[in-house]
Amino acid sequence: QQQVKQSPQSLIVQKGGISIINCAYENTAFDYFPWYQQFPGKGPALLIAIRPDVSEKKEGRFTISFNKSAKQFSLHIMDSQPGDSATYFCAAMRDGGSQGNLIFGKGTKLSVKP
């Protein structure tokens, strides 16, 4: 049973546009929601993360929106650039539980066209 559902599977955005990736989770015990960026042949890198006590977190061009009641969270990339082309994974974890037991979504391949 997939505990974190991510969509879309792939996304094509024009340079300067907004990229939006959505995730939904099932386990209400999750309380830490990170997003990772992965380039081909590289390990994932933490992009931004949020906890349920806030509804939005912004770092530069990257924003996480969090809807606790709907059990959904999304990543918005503003002013998307070709260098943002990568695979993005959302994840969820029960902080303080089995330490570091991240549950990953299936990933979204983002292509930003010049």
The binding site for other proteins (CB under 8 A) comprises 32, 34, 36, 41-46, 49, 89, 93, 95-96, 98-102, 104-107, 109
CB of 48 to other proteins, least distance (A): 12
CB-nearer residue toward other proteins: 16 or 39: 39
CB-nearer residue toward other proteins: 43 or 83: 43
- Whether residue 35 contacts residue 48, with contact meaning beta carbons closer than 8 Å, is answered with yes
CB-nearer residue toward other proteins: 20 or 102: 102
- Whether residue 92 contacts residue 30, with contact meaning beta carbons closer than 8 Å, is answered with yes
CB of 3 to other proteins, least distance (A): 12
- Whether residue 77 contacts residue 19, with contact meaning beta carbons closer than 8 Å, is answered with yes
CB of 16 to other proteins, least distance (A): 27
Of 57, 70, 55, 88, the residue nearest 24 (C-alpha): 70
CB-nearer residue toward other proteins: 5 or 71: 5
CA distance 40 to 113: 17
- Whether residue 103 contacts residue 36, with contact meaning beta carbons closer than 8 Å, is answered with no
